A = this chain, B = another copy of it.
Amino acid sequence: MDASESRSARKSRTRQALLDETLDLVAERSFASLSLREVAKAAGIVPTAFYRHFASMDDLGVTLVEDAMRVLRRMLRDGRRDLAARAAVPTAANSLAIVVRQVRTNEAQFRFLVREQHGGVSEIRRAIDTELRLFVKELAIDLSRIPEMVRWKADDLELAAELIVTVMLQAVADLLDSRGPEDDAELIARTERKLVMVILGMNSWRTEP
């Protein structure tokens, strides 16, 4: 074996291998259908060595959620750079573009999130749900900075944010099983139009009981 690596470096390397290989496997089947032996073999270690890194498959799953959510949050931070934007529509289109790019460079992670959002293990589901709610709240704050909706009530802002996140999430899911780039292009165009529709609705929204 290669002795040019420190012990702890080697450890975190196989740990990462376990996570990566699991993501790869989850691309085609659900997390719940994976076996410990399977991911261990994929990572190039013997089944029992798995326990040196995770207490169980569920434990590994939760770690996977946390990692994926870190990506999601970084994405949101990137999107917030366009905070100075004036009009809502171009901002939305821009945000969608960012989402698309992030999905494409982190396919496995997003696929995992979409897969496990409603499926399988309840602990994982709860973790995703919590993070998503946080995501909505942050988007609501961003929306409040857009001149057109600066006087909206907080509750209405959150509602709009939920709506937008729902549309975006649907787009992510669709993106993940699109075949070919012309499929992508149409999907993006449709999503943009949907967002415009939503924004139009937001514009003519008059706060009434």
Name A's B-contacting residues (CB within 8 A): 28-30, 32-33, 114-120, 122, 125, 159-160, 162-163, 166-167, 170, 173, 177, 190, 193-194, 196-205
User: Could you tell me if B159 and A197 are in contact, using CB atoms closer than 8 angstroms?
Assistant: yes
Copies in the complex: 2
Contacts of A202 in B (CB 8 A): 197, 201
C-alpha gap A170/B163 in the complex (Å): 10
Partner of A33, one of B120, B159, B160, B193: B120
C-alpha gap A122/B29 in the complex (Å): 8
Contacts of A173 in B (CB 8 A): 118
Contacts of A120 in B (CB 8 A): 29-30, 32-33, 115, 119
From residue A83, how far is it (CB to closest CB) to chain B in Å? 23
C-alpha gap A128/B90 in the complex (Å): 33
